[in-house]
């Protein structure tokens, strides 16, 4: 008699989710270290985290071809989940180079930070690898709960609390909406599996549409799509800046993953509804984000609105529910996660200078005081804007091409308007940094690790723009695989 018959449950294939397991164990090791040592050495915590994440990353890279499902089809390992997870882990490792100095300066050093980070990473990784509505719901909650706490981590600061509170309330609403949608989808098809639900062919599609709309609205709140974006600027501004960087990169990848999994499953029968709803949301989002960013005086808040605008561009690609659209969207998502993170991380370093308030005037003549930071920030901004040698140009061109291919001209033309508007605020910052004269000031000096990470990210923005094939060779088969399902 086999063991399986004896205990009557499926034995999970552990090989498929070793990376998650490693991240979870890292979290628990950090948790125990925090319990054992009364004064946790932060260098130790950071080294343990980096070692754990690197192990998970190496496992993923060396077993990139791992495929399969386990836990009764709830957990799916395919090249899509592996690709997103590689980026999430990489960005988290880079983030750890910046946190210690920032938290020391802001006097908000907490040992809890490290394992909260690993739990949210775990949630994001699970979110990237499931088709099951129930698991998506739980993983969304796992990511969000950690984000609420991380946002409120600057305990003495009022804006931090305010942002976390708004995020908590609207995030709770989002979860409620998403679960409501999941119930409707269950009524429609009698299953929680998205592949089954969307391929199910009942004559009456009203429950399917209702369920999808609620489910996507729930995700839209989490992503920060415009009619539902009210928490985002406050939470991004209030959160400690490295956490903002984390939310705008890893968080964005995680929250977009279920949307990208739905995209290839859009059927002929509700294709037009999909294009109309998602396309309209996309247009409102990037126009609103760019116009409001134009009038911001606070650079951190401006980058938050720029993050909203970029969600809009991604949604524009999502509205084209075909393989080309999906390729463009994955490339955009991964590239944006690097440049969005770089922008916020530069602010995280600059905030350590005295009298720095992230106002536009603070950036006057930054080149003369701290040339290195000015150059890195300029590369990030030009990439966010989309100037040719950087990856920003390439991804916007890809989205535009996929829109043209899908014959969505109205979205494409409005997107050009949006990008045109965004020139106003990105270039203004670059001009302020390089062309304005101002006496030299004492600006915080980045540490060696920070310097290396920023150089790495800036160079990768250029390389991905010049040699797109490096990433494209992984994205292209992934997207076609998702469409063959």
Partner 1 sequence: MEWLIFGFLSLWLLVSVFGTLFLKNPVHVILAFLSVILAIAGIFLHLGAELLAGLQLIIYAVAIIVFYVLVITTIPWEKVKKFEGIYKREALLAVPFLLISFLPIAYMVLEGKFAVSERVITEGNIRSVGKTLFTNYLFPFEVASVILLTAMIGAILLGRKEE
Contact positions vs partner 1 (CB under 8 A): 8-10, 12, 24, 71-72, 74-75, 110, 112, 115-116, 119-120, 122-123, 126, 132, 134-135, 137-139, 141-142, 145-146, 148-149, 152-153, 155-156
Q: Write out the H or E segment, with its range, that includes residue 68.
A: strand 68-70
Q: Where are the alpha helices (DSSP H) in 190-270?
A: 194-199, 206-223, 231-238, 241-246, 252-262
Q: Write out the H or E segment, with its range, that includes residue 72.
A: none
Nearer to partner 1, 100 or 142 (CB): 142
Q: How far is the CB of 234 from partner 1 (least distance, A)?
A: 17
Nearer to partner 1, 149 or 360 (CB): 149
Q: How far is the CB of 35 from partner 1 (least distance, A)?
A: 11
Nearer to partner 1, 88 or 433 (CB): 88
Nearer to partner 1, 112 or 298 (CB): 112
Nearer to partner 1, 146 or 306 (CB): 146
Quote the tokens at residue 234: 């406050």
Burial degree of 230 (CB within 10 A; 0-12, 13-18, 19+): middle
Quote the tokens at residue 132: 């099951």
Nearer to partner 1, 73 or 365 (CB): 73
Nearer to partner 1, 135 or 318 (CB): 135
Q: How far is the CB of 187 from partner 1 (least distance, A)?
A: 12
Phi then psi for 193, rounded to 5 degrees? -80, 120
Q: How far is the CB of 37 from partner 1 (least distance, A)?
A: 15
Q: How far is the CB of 112 from partner 1 (least distance, A)?
A: 5
User: CB pairs under 8 A, 24+ apart, for 460-464?
Assistant: 460/338, 461/335, 461/338, 461/339, 461/342, 461/379, 461/380, 461/383, 461/390, 461/391, 461/392, 462/379, 462/389, 462/390, 462/391, 464/335, 464/338, 464/391, 464/394
**C-alpha–C-alpha distance, residues 27 and 116, integer Å:** 8
Q: How far is the CB of 243 from partner 1 (least distance, A)?
A: 13
Give the number of C-alpha atoms closer than 13 A to the C-alpha of residue 247, restricted to the C-beta side.
32
The residues near 459 (Cβ < 8 Å, ≥ 6 apart) are: none
Q: How far is the CB of 168 from partner 1 (least distance, A)?
A: 10
């Amino acid at each position: 008699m086999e063991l399986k018959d004896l205990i009557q449950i499926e034995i999970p294939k552990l090989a498929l989710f070793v990376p998650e397991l490693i991240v979870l164990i890292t979290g628990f090791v950090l948790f125990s270290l925090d319990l054992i040592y009364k004064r946790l050495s932060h260098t130790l915590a950071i080294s343990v985290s980096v070692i754990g994440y690197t192990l998970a990353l190496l496992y993923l890279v060396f077993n990139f071809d791992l495929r399969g499902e386990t836990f009764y089809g709830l957990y799916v390992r395919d090249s899509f989940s592996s690709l997103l997870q590689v980026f999430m882990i990489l960005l988290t490792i880079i983030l750890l180079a910046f946190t210690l100095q920032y938290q020391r300066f802001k006097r908000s050093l907490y040992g809890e930070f490290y394992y909260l980070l690993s739990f949210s990473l775990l949630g994001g990784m699970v979110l990237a690898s499931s088709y099951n509505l129930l698991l998506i719901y739980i993983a969304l909650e796992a990511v969000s709960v950690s984000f609420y706490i991380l946002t409120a981590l600057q305990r003495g600061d009022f804006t931090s609390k305010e942002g976390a509170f708004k995020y908590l309330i609207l995030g709770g609403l989002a979860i409620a909406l998403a679960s409501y949608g999941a119930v409707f989808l269950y009524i429609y098809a009698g299953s929680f599996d998205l592949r089954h639900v969307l391929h199910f062919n009942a004559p009456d599609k009203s429950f399917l549409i209702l369920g999808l709309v609620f489910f996507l609205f729930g995700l839209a709140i989490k992503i920060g799509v415009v009619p539902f974006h009210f928490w985002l600027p406050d939470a991004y501004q209030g959160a400690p800046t490295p956490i903002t960087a984390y939310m705008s990169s890893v968080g964005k990848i995680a929250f977009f993953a279920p949307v990208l999994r739905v995209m290839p499953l859009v059927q002929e029968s509700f294709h037009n509804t999909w294009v109309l709803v998602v396309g309209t949301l996309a247009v409102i989002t990037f126009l609103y984000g760019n116009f409001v960013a134009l009038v911001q005086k606070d650079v951190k808040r401006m980058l938050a609105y720029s993050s909203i605008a970029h969600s809009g561009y991604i949604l524009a690609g999502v509205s084209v529910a075909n393989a080309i659209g999906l390729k463009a969207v994955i490339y955009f998502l991964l590239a944006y996660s690097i440049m969005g993170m770089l922008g916020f991380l530069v602010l995280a370093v600059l905030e350590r200078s005295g009298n720095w308030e992230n106002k536009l005037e603070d950036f006057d003549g930054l080149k003369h005081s701290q040339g290195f930071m000015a150059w890195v920030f300029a590369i990030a901004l030009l990439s966010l804007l989309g100037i040719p040698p950087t990856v920003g140009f390439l991804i916007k061109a890809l989205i535009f091409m996929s829109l043209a291919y899908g014959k969505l001209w109205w979205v494409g033309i409005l997107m050009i308007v949006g990008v045109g508007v965004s020139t106003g605020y990105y270039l203004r910052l670059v001009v302020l940094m390089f062309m304005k004269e101002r006496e030299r000031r004492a600006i915080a000096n980045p540490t060696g690790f920070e310097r290396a990470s920023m150089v790495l990210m800036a160079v990768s923005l250029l390389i991905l723009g010049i040699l797109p094939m490096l990433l494209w060779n992984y994205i292209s088969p992934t997207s076609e695989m998702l469409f063959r399902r």
